[in-house]
Amino acid sequence: MAQATFHFPRGFLWGTATSSHQVEGNNVNNNWWAWEQQTGRIRNGDQSGLACDWWGGRWREDFDRVANAGQNAHRLSIEWSRIQPEPDRWDEAALDRYLAMMRGLRERKITPLVTLHHFSDPLWLEEQGGWEDERVVGRFSAYVERVVEALREYTSLWVTINEPNVLYASAYLAGIWPPGKQSLTAMGRVMTNLVRAHAAAYHAIHRLQPQAQVGIAINYLPFQPVSSWSPLQRLFAGLADGIFNEFFPTAIHSGRLRFPLWSRRIPEAKGTHDFLGINYYTRGYISGNLANLQEMIKTPHFPPGSQVSPSGMLANEPLGMFAALKWGLKFKLPIFVTENGIEDQEDQLRPRYLIEHLHQIWRAVNFNYPVKGYFHWSLVDNFEWERGWTQRFGLWELDVDTQVRSKRPSADLYAEISRENGISSDMVQRYAPQIFASMFPD
């Protein structure tokens, strides 16, 4: 039996990722909490409730899990609605709690990667027009300055906005996220304001912390036509790629917004990223017309025979990870895989998914792709937006009623990978023997 280890570069970051609304609990002052109170918005009528009770202090035990698992990094987010609960009021006590979390990470020798916006907004912001109103640019910049001033002692790695493409597509195209609109006009305004807000935040961070590394986390979805022979499907796959994948990173790289029929210059956005964060989960398959993108956001479809997650939302397509990293090369920046994972309550597919995706990252590194770290989604089961508690992404299982965590086998697998800084043949044999022969041929 072949024996070998795929090692990663020294200093590679191994971490997990979380976000504030999904893990903190009792976050009653933002647009997602309000959305949860509306009938029919969340699957099964689920509510975030206590979530993972981080605001109650359980972040300490979860950070211990991170440290004990050999991880050297963690990606977390700050909740705008806690920092600025009203337009004219800052909550210093909330900042102190985040300071405690940051100290907790550093005390455990864990590098924090801090996300400043992860989908949720203060209620007052949404009431004043949210991301459709151009005043959001200055408001977001002021919030970012407040947070960076407070936390800069503990980190210099910042993501300004998580998955802006998922935000505008889910909230303004599919209408399944607050404010629940289906308007291309509104989506265009939001796309523009997100770019401008990111640029303002980038410049604000660098004024306060010149050595900072600032980027975004983009959800990269490689679009494939269902029928490769169909010119129409190839056309719509290309249009979907431009709207979903290309728009935002190209805008902050070039300073130009590019829509299908027009473009606009935003010079202050040019060059406003120091690294590229890529969130990759699966591929997307396009048929028919561009309305299929809207439907795919709600219910994706995969080819027959795909290894699909329990809810049918994700398929195990590791070659898409390599494609995502290859796409990211054109921006000529360091790359972090800021999210990757699969919902899998029984932990049957996850070990294979994890190993195969990390193997593709290893391949990319060996082609000298500048990949600097990997953040698995997620540390512990958390509230998955409009899908509520129906999807379990955690390396650790959460009992929502008791808050008890139970370790899944994949947590041990990822701990071994993190400690080894690589994937060994022994790990594959024990955790995913069905792929051993393909990864370590005789």
Identify the pLDDT of residue 414: 99
Mean pLDDT per 10-residue run, the chain (442 residues)?
A: 90 98 98 98 98 98 98 98 98 98 98 98 98 98 98 98 97 96 95 98 98 98 86 85 95 92 91 98 80 62 91 96 98 98 98 98 98 98 98 98 98 98 98 96 84
Burial of 340 (0-12, 13-18, 19+ CB in 10 A): buried
Per the omega criterion (within 30 degrees of 0), is the bond before 254 cis?
no
Which tokens belong to 89? 């009021």
In a 13 Å sphere around the CA of 379, the CA atoms on its Cβ side amount to 29
> In angstroms, how far is the first alpha carbon of the chain from the final one?
7
Query: In degrees, to the nearest 5, what angle opens at C-alpha 334 toward C-alphas 331 and 339?
Result: 100
Mean pLDDT of the chain: 95
Identify the pLDDT of residue 225: 86
- Report the 3 state secondary structure along 137-189: HHHHHHHHHHHHHHHCCCCCEEEEEECHHHHHHHHHCCCCCCCCCCCHHHHHH
Ramachandran class of 26: left when φ > 0, alpha when ψ lies in -120 to 50, beta otherwise: left
Segment 148-189, tens digit of pLDDT: 999 999 999 999 999 999 999 999 999 999 999 999 999 999
Identify the pLDDT of residue 296: 60
Taking each helix axis from N to C end, the angle separating 291-298 and 231-240, rounded to the nearest 10 degrees, works out to 60
Scanning 255-330, the segments in alpha helix (DSSP H) are 291-298, 319-328
In a 13 Å sphere around the CA of 140, the CA atoms on its Cβ side amount to 29
Q: Could you give the number of structural domains in the chain?
A: 1
Place of tokens 């994948």: 245
Distance of alpha carbon 147 from alpha carbon 102, whole angstroms: 12
Scanning 218-303, the segments in alpha helix (DSSP H) are 231-240, 247-254, 291-298
**Residue 340 contacts by C-beta under 8 Å, 6 or more apart in sequence?**
279, 280, 281, 321, 357, 374, 375, 376, 377
3-class secondary-structure state, position 380: strand
Distance of alpha carbon 178 from alpha carbon 282, whole angstroms: 24
Identity of residue 360: Q
Identify the pLDDT of residue 295: 63
Burial of 259 (0-12, 13-18, 19+ CB in 10 A): middle
Distance of alpha carbon 130 from alpha carbon 87, whole angstroms: 12
Is 209 within 8 Å of 268 (Cβ atoms)?
Answer: no
Annotate 317-331 with DSSP letters as a single string. -THHHHHHHHHHGGG
Which tokens belong to 86? 């009203």
pTM of the model: 0.97
CATH code at 165?
Answer: 3.20.20.80
Is 342 within 8 Å of 376 (Cβ atoms)?
Answer: no
Distance of alpha carbon 429 from alpha carbon 14, whole angstroms: 22
**Residue ranges making up the domain that contains 19:** 5-439
Identify the pLDDT of residue 260: 72
